[in-house]
Amino acid sequence: MFKKESNFKKTLISWKTENKLKFEKNWKGSGELNDPVIIENVNNLNRIIEFRSNKLHYIITGVTINELFLVTTQNIIIENCNIFRLNIQGCYNLTINDNKIISLKTAFTKASAFENNQIHPHSLIQWESESLQNLLIKLARIMIIAIPICVFFLLISVFFTSFLLIWATRIFCSFIMTFAFYILFLFVKRKNYTKNMGSNVKVNNKTLKIR
């Protein structure tokens, strides 16, 4: 049923690319609320598919997907699909129904419906406990602590006697601070995107039986 492949090529579907892809792939539907874009075949897409900040409405139905990422986006229905890895961050107004999913992770996702899905037992436990969201919160807290520590070491580096040690400290601390600010930017963006949205609806999601 599932086939995991090592292929890092990604098809990005965003507000910049979706109209072009709709024309190239001959997808049905205008993308309006009452006429969503229908994706029934992903054979002509890369193994990794990412929806990011799209504006059109979509229905993805009856396909097998290796990796699917939904990031700060909305208005997507996924039904009757086999998905090896589904990662959802900072989204709202999603409908995830009647799918078979090996790995499901969500963070800061609201006002969405998850119904009648079959999910791998380990992944189901992590999803229900919101492990990804909790991990991102912990990571953001670590980054907040790391920034002043790096600033402190940058300040005291002027007293080091070794030229090599001075520059090693500055390069390392600058790298950590850049990484920390980037992580915090992503964290805030995902969290704020769904800040005022309602709760998710989770109904009749069961353990996937692996043969």
CA distances from 179 to 1, 142, 184, 190 (A): 38, 12, 9, 17
**Residue 32 corresponds to which tokens in the numbers above?**
């309006």
86 and 175 Cβ atoms separated by less than 8 Å:
no
pTM: 0.84
Tell me the three state secondary structure of residue 185.
Answer: helix
Backbone angles phi, psi at 189, to 5 degrees: -60, -45
pLDDT tens-place values along the chain, 211 residues long: 555 554 568 999 999 999 999 999 999 999 999 999 999 999 889 989 999 999 899 999 999 999 999 999 999 999 999 999 999 999 999 999 999 999 999 999 999 999 999 999 989 888 888 888 888 888 889 999 999 999 998 888 888 878 888 889 989 999 999 999 998 998 899 999 998 899 999 999 999 987 6
Q: How far apart are CA 107 and CA 89, in angstroms?
A: 5
Polymer length in residues for the chain: 211
